[in-house]
Amino acid sequence: MDTSSPAAFVNGDLLRRYIGQKVRAVVQVIRSDIGSVVGKTTDDQQIVVKGSPPPSLTTYLEVIGIAESDNTIRADVWTNFGDNFDAGNYNELCKLANGEFRHMFI
């Protein structure tokens, strides 16, 4: 994976802006299969994360990878974020990081 550019913080709505680009998102795990995980973004939208998820998953999961479509991410980095996570705060972060404070992130 090309690590030179930063990954944009995305929720369900923002994912479509970065198709083909590197993104990161925290999702709540709904279902996990071999090769993919179905998760709920912090703005309550369902996306599919393809790749090799870790063997055990906590409730919340952060993935970093390339946005393949407006509801799919091909992830290379998977990090368990535990069971206690404030999705609301993260969602506000996504909005600020892509809006008024974009210049601080991208």
Partner 1 sequence: MANSVTQDGIATVLSSQSSSSVRPEIVVQVIDLKPVGNRYTFNANDGKKKIKVVLPATLTSDIISGKIQNLGLIRLLDYTANDIPGNSEEKYLLVTKCEVVACALDSEIKDSTGIVLKPKDKFVAKSASQRINEQSGNAAPAARMAMTRRVHPLVSLSPYQGSWTIKVRVTNKGVMKNYKNARGEGCVFYVELTDEEGTQIQATMFNAAAKKFYDTLQMGKVFYISKGSLKLANNQFKTVQNDYEMTLNENSVVEESKNEEMSVPETKFNFVPIDELGAYVNQKDLIDVIGVVQSVSPTMSIRRKSDNEMIPKRDITLADETKKTVVVSLWNDLATGLGQELLDMADKYPIIAIKSLKVGDFQGVSLSTVSRSNVVINPDIPEATKLRSWYDSEGKETSMSAIGSGMSPSANNGSRAMYSDRVCLSHFTTNPSLGTDKPVFFSTRAYISFIKPDQVMWYRACKTCHEKVTEAMYSGYWCENCQKKNEEYSLRYIMAVKVSDSTGEAWFSAFNDEAEKIIGCTADELRKLKSEEGKVNKFQTKLKEATWSEHLFRVSVSQQEYNSEKRQKITVKSVSRIDFAAETRLLLRDISKNKNTSQF
Q: Would you tell me which residues interact with partner 1 (CB under 8 A)?
A: 86, 88-89, 92, 96, 100
Helix (H) or strand (E) holding 89: helix 87-98
Based on CB atoms, which residue is closest to partner 1, 57 or 96? 96
Smallest gap from residue 91 Cβ to partner 1 (A): 10
Based on CB atoms, which residue is closest to partner 1, 35 or 88? 88
Based on CB atoms, which residue is closest to partner 1, 18 or 90? 90
Based on CB atoms, which residue is closest to partner 1, 54 or 88? 88
CA angle 29, 61, 87 (to 5 degrees): 85
Smallest gap from residue 42 Cβ to partner 1 (A): 13
Smallest gap from residue 73 Cβ to partner 1 (A): 24
The answer to whether 23 and 67 are in contact (CB under 8 A) is yes
Q: Is 102 helix (H, G, I), strand (E, B) or coil?
A: helix
Smallest gap from residue 41 Cβ to partner 1 (A): 18
